[in-house]
Amino acid sequence: MQYRKLGATDIDVPLIGLGTMTWGEQNNLQQACEQMDYAVSRGVNFFDAAEMYPVPPKAETAGDTERCIGEWLSQSGKRSEITLATKVAGRADTRPDWKHIRGGPRLNRDHIRQAIEGSLERLQTDYLDLYQVHWPERATNFFGMRGYVHYPQADGIAIEETLDALSELVDEGLVKHVGLSNETPWGVMEYLRLASERGLAKVVSIQNVYNLLSRQFETGLAEMAIREDVGLLAYSPMAFGVLSGKYLNGQMPAGSRLELFERFARYGSPQSEAATIAYKAIADKYDMTLAQMSLAFVCQQPFVTSCLIGATTMDQLRENIDAVEVQLSKDQLSEIEAVHNQYPDPAP
C-alpha cells in the first residue's frame, strides 16, 4: 500500500481508503467486520463514515454504519491503528424525511455538538482523526447540481459559526483535524480565510466526487487542493459501480445498488454509457479490468490524497484494493484523455 499525508498533518493515509456507506443496509455487521479485517490486512487503515449512513438515509437505519465500525473497534482493539473519519450532516430543510437527524440537521454550534457526541458514542471512541462537514449549509452546487443560481437569502448558518464550533472540538481533543465535503472553491477559500485571520482550525481535506465520468474537481478545486494543501478524498471513484461495466447494455444485476435504489441515477445518461463503453475498450486492450483502470486513474492524480472505495462483496473489495498496484502509462493516460475529450464530464 502507498501512503500520502493528510493535508499538512503528520497523519499518513493509504492511497486506497475504505468507504462504509453500505454497512447497515446492503451489508450487515458480520460482512462489515470481514471487510474491515481484510482492508487492514492490506494496509487500508483509513475508514470514512458519516452520521447519516447507511444510504439511502432513513430513520430506521441512521447511524448503523458508525455502529458497525464501533463494534469492530471494540472487538478488535485496533482503534490506535485506524485513521477514523466521519461527517456531520448539513442543512436538509427541503428533505422532510431527514427530520430524524436532530429534527432537521444544521451546522450551528448546538447541532455540531450533538452530532459529535452521537458519533463518538456509536463509534465507541473518544476522539476522531478527521471530522468533516458533509455538505454546505448554504444553497449552492453539490450532489450533481449543474448551473448556478444565487440564493443569498438561503445562506443559513454562517461558515464562521460552523468553523468556530469545529475548532472548539479540536481544542477539546475530541477531533484532531477538520475537513469539508461536497464543497465549492469559494467555500474552501472562505474556510481557509477564516482559519488564517482568526486562528481557527485549518481544513486539511475535501471529500468530493471524482471519477472518469465526473472530473469537474479538476476545474478550480484541483489547483486549490495542491496549493493550499487540502487534499482530495475522492468519493464515488467507481461512479456507483457504473465503471465496473456491470450495467452496460441494459444489464441490471440483482442486488446491485442501481437495482435496489432508483435514486442513484447520476451516471445513467446515454453519454455516460457511451463513455463507459469507450473506457472499457481501453481497459480490455491493456488486459485490465475497467474497475482497476478507473481506480488507478484516480489514484495517480497529484491532488488526490486517498481514493475511497466502497464494496459490497469481498471479491469487489479485493479487486478494488489491488488497483493500487496498477500504474497507468503515458500512452494509456493519453487514450483516456481522448475519451474524456469526446465525452467531457457526461455525469454531474
Which pTM does this prediction carry? 0.95
- Residue 177's pLDDT is 98
Residues with pLDDT less than 70, the chain: 94-96, 252, 256-264
Q: Which residue has the cell 445518461?
A: 269
- Are the CB atoms for 267 and 256 separated by under 8 Å? no
Provide the pLDDT for residue 200. 98
Buried b (16+ CB within 10 A) or exposed e, 296-334: bbbbebebbbbbbbbbbeeebbebbbbbbebebeeebee
CATH number corresponding to 3-207:
3.20.20.100
Q: Which residue has the cell 487534499?
A: 231
Q: Could you give the angle at which helices 109-123 and 159-171 cross, rounded to 10 degrees?
A: 40
For residue 30, give every residue at least 6 positions away whose Cβ sits within 8 Å of its Cβ, in sequence order, or none: none
Q: 145: closest CA among 93, 216, 211, 206?
A: 216
Please tell me whether residue 174 adopts helix, strand or coil conformation. Answer: coil
Tell me the one-letter amino acid at 88. Answer: V
Supply the pLDDT for residue 267: 84
210 noted as active-site residue: no
Q: Give the pLDDT confidence score for residue 258 in this predicted structure.
A: 64
pLDDT of residue 132: 98
- Sketch the domain layout of the chain as residue ranges: 3-207
Which of 3, 53, 148, 210 does the annotation list as catalytic?
53
Q: CB atoms < 10 A from the CB of 235, how many?
A: 22
Tell me what pLDDT residue 264 has. Answer: 63
Q: How confident is the model at residue 260, as a pLDDT?
A: 61
Question: What are the distances in angstroms from CA 236 to CA 12, 98, 122?
Answer: 21, 22, 24
Strand partners, 5: 12
pLDDT of residue 142: 86
pLDDT on residue 252:
66
Q: Which residues pair with 128 in a beta bridge?
A: 175
CB atoms within 10 A of CB 39: 24
- The predicted structure's pLDDT at residue 32: 98
Query: Cell numbers at residue 177, please?
Result: 483535524
